[in-house]
Amino acid sequence: MRVINFFLVFFFSASWFIFSQDLVVGIVENDADSKPISNVHVINLNRVEGTITNKNGEFEIKAEVNDTLFFSYLGFKSIKIRVTNDLIKFKKSKIKLTELAYALEEVVVSPYQLTGYLEIDARNIPLSKTYRYNIPGLPSRGYEGGSNSPGAITKVFAAIFNPVDFLYNIFGKKPKQMKKLKLMKEDYQIRELLSTKFDRETLVELLQIDKFDIDEILRNCSYSESFILSANDLQILQAISQCYEEFKLLNRK
C-alpha cells in the first residue's frame, strides 16, 4: 500500500512539474501589414525571464496561466498580454504590435558660438562637472553630487544619516518586486533590452513602481540629475540595485 501511495505521489508531482514548464509559442507581427518582426523583446514579468523573436517573428518562452508577457520593440507601442490556457494550448498565436508615429522636432545643435578649432572651443564651452564622493566605511562606490547644486554635499550626508526613512517606503513595502533586481541583472535578454532603452518603461513594468519613484530613489541615493536624465535603463537598474543592497545593510543594522 505504501508503495502504491509512493507512486501516486510521484506521478502527481511529475505531472505538476511538467505542467509548470508550459511554453508560450507565438509570432509577433506588424499590425499594419501582418509582416513578422524580428528581434522583438518578450519578457515574462512574473518569472523575470526574457527572449527575442527570430527572423520569422517567432518566439517561445516559459510561462504559466495568469503570467504577464511584455512585448517591446523600438518604434512600436509596447504591450502586455496575460497568459491564458488557450495561449499555451494553441501554438503559433499571433501577437500584433502597432507602429508609433514620431514627429521630428527642431533640434538646436549647440547654443554656443563655435569656431571649428577644437583647442579654442574646448576652452569656451562651460563644463558641468559631476562629482562622486566616497565615504569610508560604507559599502558604496560613491555618491554623486552636481557642482552647480549648492546642496550637493548636503545631499550626500542626508543620504548617509537618514536614508532608511525614504527608502523603506519604496523597498520595504515592495520586497518581492525589489528581489527581482537580481534576476533582472542575471538575464541576458533583459539586460540587452535595458541597455538600449531610456524611457524607464520596462523597469516600471518589472518592478511595479512608478517612474517618479525611480527618479526619487536615485535622488535619495545621491545620484546626480545629469545621471538620472542621461543614463540608459540598464545603468538605472544597476544604480537601483546598488542602492537596494545598501538599504538592506542599513536595515539589518
For the chain, what percentages of helix, strand and coil (3-state, to nearest 5) are there? 45, 20, 35
Cell of 157: 550626508
The torsion angle over the Cα atoms of residues 194, 200, 204 and 206, rounded to 10 degrees, is 0
Amino acid at 105: E
* Residue where the block lists cell 533640434: 107
Q: Check the CA dihedral 12-18-24-25 and report its sign.
A: negative
Task: Report the pLDDT value the prediction gives residue 156, as an integer from 0 to 100.
Answer: 46
Q: How confident is the model at residue 145 (pLDDT cuts 50, 70, 90)?
A: very low
Task: Report the pLDDT value the prediction gives residue 31, as an integer from 0 to 100.
Answer: 94
Strand-pair category, 41-44 with 49-52: antiparallel
Cα gap 209→236, rounded to integer Å: 14
Lowest-confidence pick of 74-88, 124-138, 173-187 = 124-138
Share of the chain above pLDDT 90, in %: 38
CA 148 to chain centre: 29
Q: How confident is the model at residue 121 (pLDDT cuts 50, 70, 90)?
A: low
Check whether 189 has a pLDDT greater than 70: yes
Cα gap 73→223, rounded to integer Å: 29
Q: How confident is the model at residue 52 (pLDDT cuts 50, 70, 90)?
A: very high
Share of the chain above pLDDT 70, in %: 60
Burial class (CB in 10 A: 0-12, 13-18, 19+), 170: buried
Check whether 141 has a pLDDT greater than 50: no
Task: Report the pLDDT value the prediction gives residue 124, as an integer from 0 to 100.
Answer: 59
| Cβ-Cβ contacts under 8 Å for 116 (sequence gap 6 or more) | none
Burial class (CB in 10 A: 0-12, 13-18, 19+), 42: buried
Over residues 201-223, the mean pLDDT reads 87
More confident residue, 221 or 151: 221
Lowest-confidence pick of 16-20, 22-26, 72-76, 165-169 = 16-20
Is the Cβ–Cβ distance between 24 and 184 less than 8 Å? no
Q: How confident is the model at residue 174 (pLDDT cuts 50, 70, 90)?
A: low
Over residues 147-151, the mean pLDDT reads 46
Task: Report the pLDDT value the prediction gives residue 136, as an integer from 0 to 100.
Answer: 43
pLDDT digits (tens, 9 = 90+) for 215-240: 888 888 889 999 999 999 999 999 98
Q: Domains plus CATH for the chain?
A: 2-97 (2.60.40.1120), 126-252 (no CATH)
Over residues 6-22, the mean pLDDT reads 51
Mean residue pLDDT of the chain comes to 75
**Secondary structure class of 77 (helix, strand, coil):** coil
More confident residue, 246 or 12: 246
